[in-house]
């Protein structure tokens, strides 16, 4: 729906958009098929690009490897960098097309005299966090028609332009390639590499049994199946196959290290930034205490909760995206 809306808005702006349907995994949404037919009937060309091999190699495989290593990855971050947007730019380059538009809820703005990614006007749908890893060179060529729209405005626009409320139904899934529960997908995909083991308190008391370390995330409270709570996941001990649980104070985080850095703008050690450690988390103020080619470390002004290894730490200056990295270490000191 979002991509179709972008195509129609681009045409209103005077562009001659060419739609691209990326086939990334098995399964197709009937609403999407109907919207594509409607676009073609309205005179907008729609291409089909088979990206299933790229998607499996660049997204699904590392996603499973991360979970097997007891990290909690964000596949959308990796997909935008290595699959979805890469395929779009490859297709545009093959055709000699300069500009690429997407249905992401994000804006472009000028920051320090350079084009920058910026938060969308409608905060609940903002996807700037998901795009921080895209190459700097792509930003100048990108257009985001939905940056100032809410989801409800998009639904109304689609229903009006395509002549049917049915065209405005449906929404994207959290993880597009998983049809069903994440736990079931992980257990069936990882097989015997994730086996049950003990749940221990931070003091070493046996509290119960976990179903496989890959099914849990640092800071998790729900779904532990224990009394006497609330309990939170503090750590996953891979060598002992133990899940370490504690109270809320045991999952406080003040220091975060992140690796595999990607910067759109320079940052400075000793400077303070708005920091976001997962897609839906509220940004927190923190200071950059170290920085090199391998990564960075920050000290938060106040403790954060639910900081998971494998998620991204994204730096903002106000609503402008500066860059970030993949979280690989946390501490509370």
Local confidence band at 54 (pLDDT 50, 70, 90 cut-offs):
very high
Q: Is 214 a catalytic residue?
A: no
Query: How confident is residue 261, by pLDDT bands cut at 50, 70 and 90?
Result: very high
Q: Per the omega criterion (within 30 degrees of 0), is the bond before 230 cis?
A: yes
pLDDT of 176? 86
Cβ burial 42-70 (10 Å sphere, 16+ → b, else e): eebebeeeebbebbeebbbeebbebbbeb
Cα distance between residue 50 and residue 288, in whole Å: 41
Examine the pLDDT at 93 and tell me if it is beyond 70: yes
- Share above pLDDT 70 across residues of the chain, in percent, rounded to a whole number: 94
DSSP secondary structure code for residue 156 in this structure: H
Q: Measured between alpha carbons, how far is 40 from 224 in angstroms, rounded to an integer?
A: 49
Q: Give the Cβ contact number of residue 292 at 10 Å.
A: 9
Distance CA(168)–CA(184), nearest Å, equals 30
pLDDT single digits (tens) 117-144:
999 999 999 999 999 999 999 999 999 9
pTM, two decimal places: 0.93
- Rounded to whole angstroms, the Cα distance separating 184 from 200 reads 24
What is the mean pLDDT of the segment spanning 44-58?
94
Query: What would the DSSP string read from start to end of 28-85?
Result: --HHHHHHHHHHHHTT--EEEEE-HHHHIIIIIHHHHHHHHTT----HHHHHHHHTHH
Confidence of residue 295 (pLDDT cuts 50, 70, 90): very high
Lowest mean pLDDT among 3-12, 17-26, 184-193, 200-209: 184-193
What pLDDT sits at residue 64? 95
Query: If you average pLDDT over residues 266-280, what whole number do you get?
Result: 97
Catalytic residue among 4, 70, 76, 79: 79
* pLDDT interval class at 274 (50, 70, 90): very high
Q: What is the mean pLDDT of residues 245-256?
A: 96
Q: Which residue has the tokens 């005299």?
A: 113
The Cα 183–Cα 202 span in angstroms is: 25
Kindly state the average pLDDT of the residues 258-279. Answer: 98
Cβ atoms of 285 and 272 within 8 Å: the answer is yes
Q: How far apart are the first and last CA of the chain?
A: 46
Domains and CATH numbers, the chain: 2-168 (3.40.50.620), 195-248 (2.30.30.280), 252-331 (2.40.30.10)
Closest CA to 278 of 231, 320, 208, 217: 217
**What percent of the chain stands above pLDDT 90?**
78
Arithmetic mean of pLDDT over the chain: 92
Catalytic-residue membership of 79: yes
């Amino acid at each position: 729906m979002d991509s179709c809306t972008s195509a129609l808005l681009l045409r209103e702006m005077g562009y001659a958009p060419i739609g691209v349907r990326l086939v990334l995994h098995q399964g197709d949404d009937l609403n999407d098929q109907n919207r594509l037919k409607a676009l073609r009937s309205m005179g907008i060309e729609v291409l089909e690009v088979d990206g299933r091999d790229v998607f499996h190699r660049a997204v699904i495989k590392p996603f499973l490897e991360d979970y097997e290593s007891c990290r909690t990855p964000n596949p959308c971050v990796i997909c935008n960098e290595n699959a979805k947007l890469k395929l779009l730019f490859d297709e545009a380059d093959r055709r000699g097309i300069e500009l690429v538009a997407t249905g992401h809820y994000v804006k472009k703005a000028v920051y320090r005299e350079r084009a920058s990614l910026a938060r969308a006007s409608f905060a609940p749908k903002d996807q700037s966090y998901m795009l921080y890893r895209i190459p700097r060179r792509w930003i100048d060529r990108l257009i985001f028609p939905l940056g100032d729209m809410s989801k409800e405005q998009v639904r109304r626009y689609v229903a009006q332009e395509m002549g049917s409320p049915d065209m405005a139904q449906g929404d994207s899934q959290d993880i597009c390639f998983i049809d069903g529960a994440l736990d079931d997908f992980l257990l069936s995909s990882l097989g015997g590499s994730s086996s049950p083991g003990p749940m221990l308190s931070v003091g070493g008391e046996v509290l119960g049994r976990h179903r496989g370390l890959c099914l849990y995330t640092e800071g998790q409270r729900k779904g532990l199946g224990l009394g006497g709570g609330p309990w939170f996941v503090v750590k996953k001990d891979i060598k002992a196959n133990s899940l370490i649980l504690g109270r809320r104070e045991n999952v406080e985080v003040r220091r975060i290290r992140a690796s595999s850095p990607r910067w759109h703008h320079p940052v400075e050690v000793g400077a303070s930034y708005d920091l976001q450690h997962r897609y839906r988390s509220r940004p927190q103020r923190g200071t950059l205490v170290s920085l090199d080619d391998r990564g960075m470390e920050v000290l938060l002004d106040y403790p954060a909760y639910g900081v998971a290894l494998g998620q991204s730490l994204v730096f903002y200056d106000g609503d402008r995206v500066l860059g970030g990295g993949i979280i690989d270490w946390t501490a509370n000191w």
